[in-house]
Amino acid sequence: MSAVVQADLPSLPGLLDRQALRPALAAAADAASASGHALALLTLDLDHFKDYQDRAGEAAARQVLTQLALLLEQLKPPTARLAYLGADEFVLILPDCQLAQATALAERLRERIAAALAQLDQQPPLTATLGVAATPPGRGWSAESLLALADTRMTFAKRRLPPHHNLVWAGALPSDWLGRLGLSAGSWPGL
């Protein structure tokens, strides 16, 4: 698969854009379903990035995104795929990865990102919030549902869990949030 990147990030080997994420995720989902192995996703959003961009300018913001992409590429498992969705959002596709493993990786990434971006001396500090999802046993899931669950967990953490930044969430969601996804408690790992 060729790497396609959006114009606002330099071409980094292996970095997928939003358009390339869909077929890469579909291929990973097909492989996981066929093999019976787990598939996990991490969604990542920088905290306070808009404030930073407004203060430091677009060139500095682009430099932070490039630094973050390089850090994620360096820290991800060799079989993982990294996608940049635009703005300050990234996704990691983690083949053969259970929820507990993905959550542990997300925590390590969160810590390393906070440490790397602390040098900017930004107030409030640039940190990352991550949502984590892994496939349930069996074949009754879709790549779209997996991505939606990871993204919803990230959004839930940013909106509902104090301190609303620098978090990893792989846990339960309120029933109204699950209803929006068409999921029920217990249907996916961590729910």
Asked whether residue 155 is assigned to any structural domain, the reply reads: yes
Question: What pLDDT shows up at residue 14?
Answer: 82
In this structure, of 11-25, 56-70, 148-162, 171-185, the range with the lowest mean pLDDT score is 171-185
pLDDT at 26: 96
- pLDDT, tens only, 88-125: 999 999 999 999 999 999 999 999 999 999 988 788 89
**Domain span at 48:** 33-181
19 part of a folded domain: no
Q: What is the mean pLDDT of the chain?
A: 89
In a domain, 28, yes or no: no
CA distance 187 to 107: 24
Q: 94 and 2 in contact (C-beta within 8 Å)?
A: no
Pick the residue with more confidence: 86 or 184? Answer: 86
Number of structural domains in the chain: 1
Q: Looking at residue 3, what is its pLDDT?
A: 31
Give the list of residues 6+ apart from residue 54 with CB closer than 8 angstroms, or none.
none
Torsion of CA 41, 166, 3, 63, to 10 degrees: 180
**Secondary structure, 3-state, 112-142:** HHHHHHHHHCCCCCCEEEEEEEECCCCCCCC
Q: How far apart are CA 105 and CA 173, in angstroms?
A: 21
For 4-43, write each residue's pLDDT tens digit.
Answer: 233 356 567 789 999 999 999 999 999 999 999 999 999 9
Residue 4: inside a domain: no
Residue 71 included in any domain: yes
Tell me the CATH number at 75. 3.30.70.270
65 part of a folded domain: yes
164 domain-assigned: yes
Residue 113's DSSP bridge partners are none
Q: Is residue 121 part of a domain?
A: yes
- Give the pLDDT confidence score for residue 1 in this predicted structure: 30
Indicate the pLDDT class of residue 189, thresholds 50, 70 and 90. confident
65-95 pLDDT tens trace: 999 999 999 999 999 999 999 999 999 999 9
